[in-house]
Chains A and B, each alone.
Chain A
Amino acid sequence: MVTSAIENNIDGQAHHHTETFISKYIFSLDHKIISRQFLFAGMAWAVLGGLLSVLFRTQLAWPNETFPVLETLFSTWYTDGILKPEAYNAMITMHGTIMIFFVLTASLTGTFANLLVPFQIGARDMASPLLNALSFWIFILASVFMLASLFAPDGAPSAGWTVYPPLSALPQTSPGSGLGMTLWLIAIALFIISTLMGGLNYISTILNMRTKGMTMYRMPLSVWALFFTAIVGLLAFPVLLSAAVLLIFDRGLGTSFFLSNIVVGGSPLPYSGGSPILFQHLFWFLGHPEVYIIILPAMGIVSEVLAIHSRKPVFGYKAMIFSLLGITIMSFLVWAHHMFVSGMNPFLGGVFTVFTLLIAIPSSIKVFNWLTTLWRGNFHINPASIFAVGFVSLFISGGLTGIWLGSSTVDIRLHDTYFVIAHFHLVMGVAAFFGMFAGVYHWFPRMFGRMMNNTMGYIHFGITFVGAYLIFWPMHFMGLSGVPRRYYHFNEFDAFSQYANMNVIITVVTIIVFITQFIFIFNFFHSMYFGKKAPQNPWNATTLEWTSPVEGIHGNWEGDLPVVHRWPYDYSKPGADEDFIAQTTPLKEGEIESH
């Protein structure tokens, strides 16, 4: 497996052999192609995940209306024009699973690690191109299983993206806990294997394949962020794999790791002694680091994009690296803040509160540094740069509510309400999407050799940004007054009737934002074929990817690899002729290297 990759890469030189369409675009080993494949797959998943949210939001806004059209389109999920309650649960489960794992983990990291790691460190490809391709194809296999679970005959998985047992363990408990859940678990197991394969490769490539002169402290922050992302994944995902394996055993082989003394429909089940809380611990030991696996690549992209488009060195380069390191370490120490109400020794709750509040520190260092990078910069407005600024805004808004939730006493009141939904969609969901958009707008010329259309980019940004706040801001107030998440409708609760109109507004905005994404998709595919041809270095950036030929050659550089002489943030350096100095430019006599 690993070794044949060496055979392919044996002389480390650019290859020019004739390739068929299949070997070039489908089963390619080239990191540039694999990066595109991850992006396309992620876009398809994102459209599906978004569509599901439109369906369940429609139910929340108009719980008493019938939608015959939707019934004809999605007949299995609707009866009498109304979304079935169990289908509602399935929609939210699959929405969360798709967005968190398939879009924001696999596709975000897969796209940008593949694109940027070899390019920005000056390598011809990943350490093991074969393992890299395998990682993508196992991801596709996982996708097939996940898609199948959505269409499982007795119902799609509906235990929430967190798949807590006993709901997820016992087929009797809900229609989606039958075949659908089995497929879900298989898909996630494959997904983890794919993520691990990718991660191993990224780390090893970064540590071993850097070109001459590319010391660790000369790597762009995007590479640093992807590096730490892979480390977090490597340590956290195997534990989720263990949890999934134990759950599979409980489901299929009659063990009771997570099950105990359960009575379903009046009849006691033969399980005894298991602990569902054990599952929660195993799940969140991954689950919390997972949110950082999602956000770290976005942070890296944003750091890079902000520096380039404000024509200033990133503020506090080393502080950025060490705050990434801090987040990496601390993300493993806070998982139980998701379990404050699961029954926990109050002292332990206090410990986790303290660690949770501490993790806000490295996060705020990063925010401070982004703002100071922008401060008095020569800010160039374009879709990439404003999406990056949007990321910072969303990350601040969502991060502040994290501090509320992190305090166990406050969380007991807010847990499982819309307040939590608001928190994590702003800080992670939408923010990570913004990071991804910033990255796509910024590196599109590098990926496809053409420029994207700016006007469409601005419209996309404007509506999405305003829409995100319109959707999630009101949810804070709903959560504060106790509106619980994951409820099918609120008809029977007088206390929540005041939010009936609010639910309509949120849903209407959701639909508008969803449709707006098609502007982006149109722009993307149209520009791929008809966009303006990109110059060699469209943003006047310093990093190595812009020195490789625009058309994209196998091995990335003709002849020798570029040699690096300076850090990646020499923008507007005093005394320089231009407002940027490429990393390949040797230091002038007497010039001091910045850090």
Chain B
Amino acid sequence: MDYSLKYQERNQGAHKFIMWLAIASSCMIFAGFTSAFLVRKGAGGAWTGFDISSVFSISTFIILFSSATMLVAHIANKKGNLGFASFALFLTFACGLLFCYFQYTGWVYLTNQGFYPAGNPNPSPQFLFVIVIIHAIHVLSGMLFLLIASVKSFMLLKSDKQLVVNPNSNVLQVRTDLLSMYWHFMGILWLYLFGFLYFFL
């Protein structure tokens, strides 16, 4: 194989690796929150739990569903079906939006139940609050890139340029690879947080 081709292939592998590392460091952020949570809970004192399964179950379902649409986008992209890929990416973006919306309404519901973070002698809502917000920020930043990718695929489709020069330099491919890694991670992360909160809150 031509050496520069090989170089470029390794470079694309390196990008995926960067994403793995980013996922690892993001895990550390939540490890920080959840261990602070456990330390605080273990220290005793007021701590009222709340069953969150009913409050956040819709959003949990949505984010898992969006993993499926992401997968579809990934496959469509691999098959070179740009239009479909663009559509599925947009659908994933929309799911993200819905997810955030239901997180928000869930939160409002909890606040109305007296489960509010500020000035509450019960410390559990504030942990929930932080965890949900920081996760949502992660989701929102992923959505930004979903939107960009969706628009870019759409524009490429319209411009009918010769896209695939060679299979190794398919930029779109790498882009959706990275995006789907991140997006599936968002789902898994939320599942972990949901489970954590369900069992420990």
Contact = CB atoms under 8 A, between A and B. Distances in A.
Contacts of A239: 28-29, 31-32
Nearest to B44: A273
Given A128-B14, A209-B14, A238-B26, A2 B119 contact: no
A392 B155 CA distance: 59
Nearest to B169: A10
B117 interface: yes
B188 interface: no
B196 to A, nearest CB: 15
A242 B18 contact: no
B8 to A, nearest CB: 5
Interface stretch (B54-62, B79-87, B107-115, B171-179): B171-179
Nearest to B33: A242
Interface stretch (B68-76, B96-104, B122-130): B122-130
B110 to A, nearest CB: 15
A514 B32 CA distance: 39
A242 B22 CA distance: 15
A207 B39 CA distance: 36
B11 A282 contact: no
A573 interface: no
Interface in A240-286: 241-243, 245-246, 249, 253-257, 270-275, 278, 281-282, 285
B163 interface: no
Given A127-B18, A245-B130, A6 B12 contact: yes
A278 B119 contact: no
Residue of B11, B13, B43, B45 contacting most chain A CB atoms (<10 Å): B11
Contact of A275 (B7, B40, B130): B40
Nearest to A255: B126
Nearest to B121: A272
Among A3, A204, A207, A270, find the residue whose CB has the most chain B CB atoms closer than 10 A.
A3
A561 interface: yes
Contacts, number: 143
Given A245-B130, A275-B40, A560-B3, A9 B11 contact: yes
Interface stretch (A93-101, A195-203, A526-534): A195-203
A246 B134 CA distance: 11
A249 B116 CA distance: 13
A203 B178 CA distance: 17
A343 to B, nearest CB: 12
B10 interface: yes
B24 interface: yes
B15 A127 contact: yes
A236 B28 CA distance: 8
A237 interface: yes
Interface string A2-24: 11011101111100000000000
Contact of B46 (A131, A273, A275): A273
B159 interface: no
* Residue in A12, A209, A249, A271 with the greatest tally of chain B CB atoms within 10 Å: A12
Interface string A278-300: 10011001000000000000000
A241 B29 contact: yes
Chain B contact surface mostly:
helix
B164 interface: no
A360 B99 CA distance: 50
B1 interface: no
A459 interface: no
Contact of B130 (A9, A12, A201, A249): A249
A254 B117 CA distance: 8
B64 interface: no
B86 to A, nearest CB: 15
A181 to B, nearest CB: 19
Contacts of A498: none
B121 A2 contact: no
B25 interface: yes
A451 B74 CA distance: 53
Nearest to A279: B36
Contact of B32 (A201, A207, A282, A560): A282
Contacts of B14: 127-128, 204-205, 207-209
Contacts of B117: 249, 253-255
B21 A257 contact: no
B4 interface: yes
A208 B17 contact: yes
Nearest to A281: B39
A209 B39 contact: no
Contacts of B46: 272-273
A234 interface: yes
A179 B134 CA distance: 23
Given A12-B4, A207-B17, A273-B121, A2 B25 contact: no
A238 B32 CA distance: 8
Contacts of A235: 24-25, 28
A376 to B, nearest CB: 42
B52 interface: no
Contact of A274 (B19, B25, B123): B123
A1 interface: yes
A256 B123 contact: yes
A3 B26 contact: no
A450 interface: no
A442 interface: no
A13 B24 CA distance: 31
Contacts of A7: 171
Contact of A238 (B13, B28, B45, B126): B28
Contact of B25 (A207, A234, A270, A285): A234
A309 interface: no
Contacts of A560: 3
Contacts of B129: 249, 255
A236 B33 CA distance: 13
Nearest to B170: A6
A12 B25 contact: no
Nearest to B45: A273
A366 interface: no
A256 B39 CA distance: 14
A238 B25 contact: yes
Interface of B: 3-5, 7-8, 10-15, 17-19, 21-22, 24-33, 36, 39-40, 43, 45-46, 117-119, 121, 123, 126, 129-130, 134, 145, 169, 171, 174-175, 178
Given A12-B5, A124-B7, A274-B123, 20 more contacts: A2-B15, A2-B19, A3-B178, A6-B12, A10-B169, A128-B18, A131-B18, A199-B25, A200-B18, A204-B15, A204-B17, A205-B14, A208-B10, A209-B11, A237-B25, A239-B32, A242-B32, A253-B118, A254-B118, A257-B40
8 contacts: A13-B4, A124-B7, A128-B15, A131-B18, A239-B32, A246-B130, A273-B45, A275-B39
Interface of A: 1-3, 5-7, 9-13, 124, 127-128, 131, 196, 199-201, 203-205, 207-209, 234-239, 241-243, 245-246, 249, 253-257, 270-275, 278, 281-282, 285, 560-561
4 interchain residue pairs of minimum CB distance? A242-B32, A254-B118, A127-B14, A12-B7
